[in-house]
């Protein structure tokens, strides 16, 4: 079989257009491919959608097989890239003229991914397939920051520096992804994360988060499972908490925290009083409104009305512009407002007002919805004032990790509002489409050449250098929102919703004002295991103490040594107390008891002294008279003599012999062992 035949077979066999493209380039490099002019001509033939194209970031582009290398007219959208890509064409042409070794090296770099870079996405907003393929890439890159589905990871947690709440928001985005595209590839990951973080009382107050958890943190998880219920996201197993019941649990615990002592109502930002932000107000309007629409329960609608009235009366929603401010401190009775507006606050009220309008069909709620949508125009900038921006922080490069994701929620909830209030679609969709185009256009960063930044407006498609979960989520949500008209209306319990609810969900945490953990009583098996572990620890502790007291240079048995140590300890205590000795003498004598009694080791004359001063009190003569016999071990009989040192035999010279300590034992002066200086001490 010729190389050409093998090439075509490979091209036809590969199931991936990308690998067909890569194989074509490698074949050209290693098979003395066509002339440089043919390669240059083929640089702009695109075999599949959303594949790398010539740009400043990507010198490698799809090349069809040689049999298709015939003249053709260059598509208009590549004309600008042709002018930009002349350097890349020249480089590839030069490589084609290189030696076989040079081509082989270049092919290896391609196959190992060293030179293959993606130059963003070729988005066509009129093509559902293009939108789905782009959304898939955005979702994949968002999940590159998540390790909860990998060995050693914790389901439902994003790594530092992301806070717990943003994982709940991310799962909400993935539920949206499934709803818009029908791709269920992430569904199991989403279910695992949402269920792992429910907590003991199944209300998204897990024990590992309650010390720092805020009402808005808990609320984002509640909004995610509310979407799961509305979209008929696959239900959990029967023995697990259900999506609707989880949303109800979040609402119930937060309703119990409604505070009338300060500012005449509202929810505080944080749950527990020692957390920073306890004196800062927030609300749970959107969740109550959606529960009212889904269940038909008037209690939820009453809470939504109550929340709106409080927001309107305090001025948190501007009575003229419908701007939604971020909050206020209770020290001023909520009259001194934060001057900032953030997009997710406006988005949450737009969504809730749309749900209440659909639920009540009231002109009052329609007017409120229209006012909020008009007020949200403050978040759109650019030449036509139609590209979304986080205006409080983005223009001055001060958005923190949380704020980098806020545009995702305004995009998500603006689109959802059009389903409950269809006549708002023509007003909202131009903003979403312009924002989606600008957002995807600047997704050209990162090592893969398609990571998204934060800034969409006035950047001419340039990547701003920021990368993260929030940036990916925002681009994903605004892109998906452009197809909202093709999606079905969210379900309710009366229109096909299958998620089961529980009006009493979350009762275990209602009224809870501290994060004290309530553990279940231990079982008999747990008690037995604890007893065994306690016994093992105590045994190890006593063994360690005995080992410390054991004198390895003595021929006495361990039990005899322990008895001697105990006797010395008692004597020391008695003597120390009688003499009024201090604690320092008491402890020091007890520790030195292992050497305090007279001993006659290996025929040496009796010497006495404590360990702490032994080196200066043992006589030089006694030491010199101690015979040294090599190659003896401690298992010798009690009458045998053995080495006094644990130093390996032969150090530093392998030739050793028995000799008095003061005598030279090698011919090398460096190996001399000098006698103890009886005049000095250490």
For residue range 349-371, what is the model confidence (pLDDT) as tens digits? 999 999 999 999 999 999 999 99
Task: Identify the three-state secondary structure at position 473.
Answer: helix
- Between CA 490 and CA 160 the distance in angstroms is 34
CA–CA distances in Å: residue 576 to residues 56, 110, 611 = 86, 82, 18
Q: What angle do the packed helices 343-360 and 363-375 form, to 10 degrees?
A: 160
Percentages helix, strand, coil for the chain (3-state, rounded to 5) are: 50, 5, 45
Q: CB neighbours of 337 closer than 8 A, spacing ≥ 6?
A: 315, 316, 325, 327, 328
Q: What tokens were used for 10?
A: 């490979």
Tokens for 512, please give them: 């809870």
Q: Per mean pLDDT, which of 50-64, 104-118, 123-137, 454-468 is the most reliable?
A: 123-137
Distance, in Å, from the CA atom of 127 to the CA atom of 111, rounded to the nearest integer, reads 31
- Average the pLDDT over 99-119 and give the result: 54
Q: What is the CA radius of gyration of the chain?
A: 39
State yes or no: pLDDT of 11 exceeds 90: no
pLDDT score, position 213:
87
CB 651 within 8 A of CB 637: no
Does the pLDDT at position 525 exceed 80?
Answer: yes
Contact 63, 43 (CB under 8 A): yes
Q: Is 70 exceeded by the pLDDT of residue 204?
A: yes
Q: pLDDT at position 211, please?
A: 73
CA distances from residue 400 to 131, 442, 471 in whole angstroms, order as listed:
29, 20, 12
Least confident of 24-38, 52-66, 121-135, 440-454: 52-66
- pLDDT score at 413: 98
Q: Decide if pLDDT at 608 tops 60.
A: no
Q: What is the DSSP string of 324-377?
A: B---BBGGGTT-SB-----HHHHHHHHHHHHHHHHHH--HHHHHHHHHHHHHGG
Decide if pLDDT at 591 tops 90. no
**pLDDT category of residue 302 using cuts at 50, 70 and 90:** very high
Q: Is-contact 276 270, C-beta < 8 A?
A: yes
In this structure, how many other beta carbons lie within 10 angstroms of the beta carbon of residue 182?
A: 8
Q: What is the mean pLDDT of residues 193-207?
A: 94
């009690």: which residue's tokens? 638
Q: Looking at residue 109, what is its pLDDT? A: 55
Q: What is the pLDDT of residues 388-421, one digit of tens each?
A: 999 999 999 999 999 999 999 999 999 999 999 9
Please compute the mean of the pLDDT values over residues 284-313 and round it to a whole number: 96
Using the structure block, give the residue that is written with the tokens 């040192």: 645
d(CA 351, CA 357): 10
pLDDT computed for residue 97 by the predictor: 57
Burial label, 634 (beta-carbon count in 10 A; 0-12, 13-18, 19+): exposed
Q: Is 327 within 8 Å of 316 (Cβ atoms)?
A: yes
Question: Kind and range of the H or E element at 381?
Answer: strand 380-381
Least confident span in 142-156, 493-507, 540-554: 540-554
Question: Are 258 and 325 a contacting pair, CB within 8 Å?
Answer: no
* pLDDT band for position 329 (cuts 50, 70, 90): confident
> Quick check: 678 pLDDT over 50?
no
Which residue reads 């010390």 in tokens? 211
Alpha carbon of 585 to those of 409, 573, 574, 576, 578: distances in Å?
71, 10, 12, 7, 13
Among candidate residues 213, 231, 212, the one with its CA nearest the CA of residue 223: 231
Please write the tens of the pLDDT for every residue from 138-194. 999 999 999 999 999 999 999 999 999 999 999 999 999 999 999 999 999 999 999
Can you tell me the mean pLDDT for 321-328? Answer: 92
| pLDDT band, very low/low/confident/very high, at 644 (cuts 50, 70, 90) | very low
Q: Distances from the Cα of 596 to the Cαs of 244, 418, 613, 634, in angstroms?
A: 76, 91, 11, 21
Percent with pLDDT over 70 in the chain: 63
| Averaged pLDDT for residues 632-647 | 45
What are the backbone dihedrals phi and psi of residue 335, each rounded to the nearest 5 degrees, phi first?
-105, -15
Tell me the per-residue pLDDT of 71-90, one tens digit each, with 9 for 90 and over. Answer: 334 443 333 334 334 434 44
| Residue 324 backbone phi and psi in degrees, to 5 | -105, 115
Residue 529 has pLDDT above 60, yes or no: yes
What is the predicted pLDDT for the residue at 647?
43
- Mapped onto helix, strand or coil, the DSSP state of residue 25 is helix
Mean pLDDT of the chain: 76
Q: What is the per-residue DSSP string for 167-228?
A: HHHHHHHHHHHHHHH---TTHHHHHHHHHHTSTTTTSS--TTTTTT-BHHHHHHHHHHHHHH
Q: Is 584 buried (19+), middle (13-18) or exposed (0-12) by CB count in 10 A?
A: exposed
The mean pLDDT of 656-662, rounded to a whole number, is 43
pLDDT > 60? residue 544? yes
Q: Is the Cβ–Cβ distance between 195 and 223 less than 8 Å?
A: no
pLDDT band at 28 (very low <50, low <70, confident <90, very high): low
The mean pLDDT of 88-100, rounded to a whole number, is 54
Q: What architecture is the 128-486 domain classified under in CATH? A: Alpha/alpha barrel (1.50)
Between 511 and 216, the more confident residue is 216
Q: Which of 195-209, 221-235, 333-347, 605-619 has the lowest mean pLDDT?
A: 605-619
CA distance 507 to 203: 9
DSSP 42: H
516 pLDDT above the threshold of 60: no
Q: Which one, of 554, 645, 626, lies nearest residue 596 by Cα?
A: 554
Asked if residue 13 has pLDDT above 90, the reply is no
Residue 222 scores a pLDDT above 60: yes
Closest CA to 247 of 445, 557, 584, 493: 493
> Hey, what long-range contacts does 564-571 have (CB within 8 A, 24 or more apart)?
564/593, 564/594, 564/597, 565/593, 565/594, 568/593, 568/594, 568/596, 568/597, 569/593
Give residue 604's pLDDT.
41
How much is the pTM? 0.64
- What DSSP state is assigned to residue 317? B
């Amino acid at each position: 079989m010729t190389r050409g035949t093998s090439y075509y077979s490979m091209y036809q066999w590969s199931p991936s257009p990308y690998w067909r493209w890569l194989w074509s380039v490698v074949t050209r490099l290693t098979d003395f491919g066509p002339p440089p002019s043919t390669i240059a001509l083929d640089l702009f033939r695109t075999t599949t959608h959303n594949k790398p194209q010539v740009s400043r970031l990507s010198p490698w582009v799809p090349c069809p097989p040689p049999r298709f290398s015939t003249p053709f007219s260059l598509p208009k959208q590549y004309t600008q890239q042709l002018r930009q890509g002349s350097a890349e064409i020249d480089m590839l042409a030069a490589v084609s003229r290189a030696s076989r070794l040079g081509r082989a090296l270049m092919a290896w770099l391609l196959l190992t991914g060293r030179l293959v870079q993606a130059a963003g996405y070729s988005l066509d907003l009129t093509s559902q397939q293009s939108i789905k393929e782009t959304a898939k890439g955005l979702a994949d890159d968002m999940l590159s920051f998540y390790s909860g589905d990998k060995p050693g990871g914790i389901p439902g947690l994003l790594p530092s520096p992301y806070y717990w709440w943003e994982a709940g928001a991310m799962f909400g985005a993935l539920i949206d992804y499934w709803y818009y595209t029908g791709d269920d590839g992430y569904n199991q990951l989403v279910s695992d994360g949402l269920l792992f973080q429910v907590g003991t009382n199944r209300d998204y107050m897990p024990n590992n988060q309650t010390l720092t958890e805020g009402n808005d943190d808990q609320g984002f998880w509640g909004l995610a499972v509310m979407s799961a219920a509305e979209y008929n996201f696959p239900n959990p197993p029967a023995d697990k908490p259900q999506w609707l019941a989880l949303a109800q649990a979040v609402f119930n615990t937060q309703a119990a925290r409604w505070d009338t002592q300060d500012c005449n109502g509202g929810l505080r930002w944080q749950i527990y009083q020692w957390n920073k932000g306890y004196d800062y107000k927030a609300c749970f309007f959107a969740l109550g409104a959606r529960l009212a629409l889904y269940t038909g329960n008037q209690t939820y609608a009453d809470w939504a009305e109550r929340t709106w009235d409080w927001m309107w009366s305090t001025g948190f929603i501007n009575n003229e512009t419908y701007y939604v401010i971020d909050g206020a401190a209770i020290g001023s009775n909520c009259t001194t407002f934060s001057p900032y507006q953030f997009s997710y606050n406006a988005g949450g009220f737009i969504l809730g007002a749309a749900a209440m309008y659909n639920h009540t069909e009231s002109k009052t709620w329609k007017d409120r919805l229209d006012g909020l949508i008009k007020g949200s125009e403050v978040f759109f900038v650019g030449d036509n004032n139609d590209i979304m921006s986080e205006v409080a922080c983005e223009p001055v490069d001060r958005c923190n990790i949380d704020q980098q994701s806020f545009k995702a929620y305004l995009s998500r909830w603006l689109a959802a509002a059009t389903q409950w209030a269809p006549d708002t679609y023509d007003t909202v969709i131009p903003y979403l489409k312009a924002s989606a185009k600008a957002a995807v256009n600047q997704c050209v960063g990162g090592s893969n050449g398609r990571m998204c930044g934060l800034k969409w407006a006035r950047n001419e498609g340039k990547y701003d250098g920021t990368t993260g979960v929030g940036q990916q989520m925002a681009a994903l949500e605004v892109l998906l929102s452009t197809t909202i008209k093709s999606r079905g209306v969210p379900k309710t319990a009366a229109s096909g919703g299958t998620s089961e609810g529980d009006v009493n969900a979350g009762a275990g945490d209602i009224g809870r004002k501290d994060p004290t953990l309530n553990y279940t009583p231990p079982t008999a098996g747990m008690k037995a295991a604890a007893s065994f572990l306690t016994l093992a620890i105590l045994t190890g502790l006593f063994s360690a103490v005995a080992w410390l007291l054991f004198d390895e240079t003595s021929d006495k048995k361990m039990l005899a040594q322990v008895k001697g140590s105990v006797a010395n300890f008692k004597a020391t205590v008695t003597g120390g107390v009688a003499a009024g000795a201090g604690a320092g003498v008491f402890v020091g004598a007890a520790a030195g008891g292992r050497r305090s009694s007279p001993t006659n080791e290996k025929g040496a004359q009796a010497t006495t002294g404590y360990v702490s001063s032994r080196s200066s009190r043992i006589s030089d003569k006694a030491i010199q008279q101690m015979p040294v016999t090599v190659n003896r071990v401690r298992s010798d009989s009690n009458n045998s003599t053995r080495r006094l040192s644990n130093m390996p035999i032969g150090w530093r010279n392998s030739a050793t012999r028995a000799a008095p300590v003061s005598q030279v034992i090698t011919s090398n002066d460096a190996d001399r062992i000098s006698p103890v200086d009886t005049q000095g001490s250490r």
